[in-house]
Amino acid sequence: MHKNSELQQLFSNYKNLSSNQLDRLIALVVKQEKEKLGLTLPVELKIDYDELSQNSAGGDSTLDFDEKTGQYHYTIRLNANEWYKQYLLNRNQTYQNGDMTFESSLDSLYNLVARVCHEMRHAYQNEQTHIKKDLSNPDALVWLKQELVVTNEKFYRDSHNYSNMPREVDAFNYQYKESLDYIRNYTNIERDNPKFFTTLQETLNKNQRKNVRPLDELTFIVDGKEIKAIEYLNHNMIDAMKTHNITPEIIENSILRYEYNSDFSKKSFEQLMADKQKIIDGLDNTLPNYIHLLKKIESIYDSIINNDNELRKQQENESRKTDENQSGYSIEKNGTSYMEKQQQILQDEAGNEIGTRTIIWNTNIEKGTESIKTVGRLENSTGEYLMKEFSETLGGELQLHRKELTNQNKNTGEQEKFVYQKDSKGNETYYKTVNGKLTYKIIKNEKGFMIDTFNKGQPLETFEYDENGNAIAGMPGIESIDDDYVVHLFDSQVPYFEAENKALDIQETKTIDTQKLGKETLEEQKDTHAKDTVETDMETQMKANDRTQQSKQEYQEQPETKTHSTENPESFRSKMKFEMTPEMYQEILRHHSEAEKNFEREMAENPDRRKAEQTEYGVK
């Protein structure tokens, strides 16, 4: 299905959008935006310091197309505000030729999307809250990102400090306006849902009338003095500005809003300047918390972005260097095939080492095959993870892709396992087990999606979606799922980490040679009887597990019928069979022969009883 029609479908019932639908919307919009603009990640951003812009703590951004490189570039103009500098430094910027540049994983675009969806959520669901407890999905991330800056909005509003309010903080006016521009330029909402769009526009107009000064009351700060815009600009210029729709927001050094004290007296220029210093001091105090939170949500955001399979493939190919001197890299060549190995250490967002990973590429040029095997282990506050991934291509076409994640969950104490697999036909499977018991399973093929949920291995519910992801019997509130639903579900379980190429010491890999284990169990190797007993016990347990599972499943499927079927006596008999060891059988024979002896003795002692038995049961 074309992505635009997916959006339309989502908005057709916009009043009842659920959290999941908004999640999908965000993912779709970001993805569509990337395709539309032909952006590849990372997008280069150039930051120029504009020392004249003393009033604004934030910055403006523009998207320019560079004809020479054929790439889009974001330009951000910032002022020399100290706290923003510090914030940027903490984002590990690099300096080049006196200008600061950094690479962003769609941050600016995402902020646009974040603003769009923030406002839409207000409009659609009349939701007042901003904070979500669970940060593991894009929607919550949107809210938290907004909340981090909106928190400061109160700071500004309480002191009637609108003019100094950073534009990105201005949820009521600036963000709203930008969101509408985004919707107008990049979606079909205005065309397909004009009524809804008009409602949003009217809300914006109302806010602007309330908060923003009309053009003829606008004042500028020039050389430390406040002057009226009409004194700075002649009327012709103002008319020209109106004609070209140049609004006050884009003019620098402007005092945009009505600035009053709590007693409704108008603020003096000196008060405005004092307000600005107060802001800087206030923000400095909150900066450490802000950065810590920002790092955390950036890590969540990065893991969401990493769901883009193409991106990850590109990154892995980039990390696969041909330079044999790179730390942790080795290559073995054998005729037309070669094996490359890359060792890595894994770090958390704070740079602490939390695990290791090894990637092995096996390439056979003659056969046209390539396989990639990845094994990683990491431990963090939530659990101990074992990550395995295997993919195989033939002539560049995928044959098999399998991913496994095992986690000893420190919070619940449970052992969780997640498995994802995709075959050459594009069929996908995902399942989750907890303590060995199935809890969730999805199968995707050319016919659609089948989703099964289980409770400790027992089937609970089944949901179905067609080949286009539309619900046939859908999960509550989820009318459609996208093509990447299955793999995204797996990837969302993977803990965040950053990988650094580094040779791993043998000790660091913490493996034990199985030959050593063999030597340490030499006595047990010699004890055949013990091994046989344990193997038999294990087999019995396995069969008991299977029987329990089978009988419960049959009961689940046919709760009204008996546990055995008379239609197939053979299967009934086979179900009633039970396995026994030779020792068990001998024991039973011995008991049986003793019982027979006892019976014979009793009959001999009591002839009347023998007669009665014979009459009732026939001659023995």
Partner 1 sequence: MLDLEYGNAYKEVLEILKHISQEDYDKIPEEKIAFFERNSNKNYAFKYDINKTLDEQNVSKKAKIIIAILFRDYWATDEQREKIKVKEQHDRQIKEQEIQNKNNLDNNLKNENITSDNNKITLYKEPLIKRIISKIMNWIKLKK
Q: Which residues in this chain contact partner 1 in the complex, by CB under 8 A?
A: 375, 386, 388, 413-415, 417, 433, 435-437, 510-515, 517-518, 520-521, 523-532, 534-535, 537-538, 541-542, 545, 582-583, 586, 590
Closest approach, Cβ 372 to partner 1, in A, equals: 14
Give the integer Cα–Cα distance in Å for 99 and 76: 12
Give the distance, in angstroms, between the CA of residue 152 and the centroid of all CA atoms in the same chain: 28
Decide if 78 contacts 130 (C-beta within 8 A).
no
DSSP state letter for 454 = E
Q: Which amino acid is at 525?
A: Q
CB nearer to partner 1: give 134 or 513.
513
CB nearer to partner 1: give 437 or 564.
437
Mapped to the 3 state alphabet, what secondary structure does 163-216 carry?
HHCCCCCCCCCHHHHHHHHHHHHHCCHHHHCHHHHHHHHHHHHHHHHHHECCHH
CB nearer to partner 1: give 39 or 375.
375
Give the integer Cα–Cα distance in Å for 236 and 256: 21
The DSSP bridge pattern shows strands 397-409 and 43-49 to be unpaired
Closest approach, Cβ 587 to partner 1, in A, equals: 11
- Cα dist from 170 to 139, 149, 264, 289, 394, whole Å: 20, 9, 22, 21, 53
C-alpha torsion angle, residues 235, 236, 242, 248 (rounded to 10) = -50
CB nearer to partner 1: give 425 or 529.
529
Closest approach, Cβ 519 to partner 1, in A, equals: 9
Decide if 344 contacts 358 (C-beta within 8 A).
yes
Closest approach, Cβ 522 to partner 1, in A, equals: 8
Question: At 445, which helix (H) or strand (E)?
Answer: strand 437-445
Closest approach, Cβ 615 to partner 1, in A, equals: 30
Closest approach, Cβ 365 to partner 1, in A, equals: 24
CB nearer to partner 1: give 108 or 549.
549
Closest approach, Cβ 512 to partner 1, in A, equals: 5
Who contacts 619 (Cβ-Cβ below 8 Å, separation ≥6)? none
Closest approach, Cβ 603 to partner 1, in A, equals: 17
CB nearer to partner 1: give 14 or 390.
390
Closest approach, Cβ 390 to partner 1, in A, equals: 10
Closest approach, Cβ 531 to partner 1, in A, equals: 6
Decide if 95 contacts 64 (C-beta within 8 A).
no
Which token pair is 190?
Answer: 């205005």
Closest approach, Cβ 601 to partner 1, in A, equals: 10
CB nearer to partner 1: give 73 or 373.
373
CB nearer to partner 1: give 12 or 525.
525
CB nearer to partner 1: give 288 or 518.
518
Handedness of CA 105, 108, 113, 118 (dihedral sign): positive
CB nearer to partner 1: give 216 or 583.
583
> Which of 191, 196, 87 lies closest to 148, judged by CA?
87
DSSP state letter for 212 = B
Closest approach, Cβ 610 to partner 1, in A, equals: 21
CB nearer to partner 1: give 227 or 538.
538
Give the integer Cα–Cα distance in Å for 608 and 605: 9
Give the integer Cα–Cα distance in Å for 233 and 236: 8
**Whether the bond into 42 is cis, omega within 30 of 0:** yes
CB nearer to partner 1: give 467 or 524.
524
Bridge partner residues of 428 (DSSP): 422, 444
Where on the phi/psi map is residue 484: left (φ > 0), alpha (ψ -120 to 50), or beta?
alpha
> Which of 253, 228, 219, 247 lies closest to 79, judged by CA?
253
> Which of 403, 498, 494 lies closest to 136, judged by CA?
494
Which residue is associated with the tokens 């007296």?
Answer: 265
For residue 426, give the 3-state DSSP assignment.
coil
Closest approach, Cβ 554 to partner 1, in A, equals: 20
Buried b or exposed e, range 328-345, using 16+ CB within 10 angstroms: bbeeeeeeeeeebebbbb
CB nearer to partner 1: give 50 or 414.
414
The torsion angles phi and psi of 82, rounded to 5 degrees, stand at -65, -40
Closest approach, Cβ 413 to partner 1, in A, equals: 6
CB nearer to partner 1: give 2 or 510.
510
Where on the phi/psi map is residue 372: left (φ > 0), alpha (ψ -120 to 50), or beta?
beta
For residue 562, give the 3-state DSSP assignment.
coil
Closest approach, Cβ 34 to partner 1, in A, equals: 35
The torsion angles phi and psi of 100, rounded to 5 degrees, stand at -85, 130
CB nearer to partner 1: give 512 or 619.
512
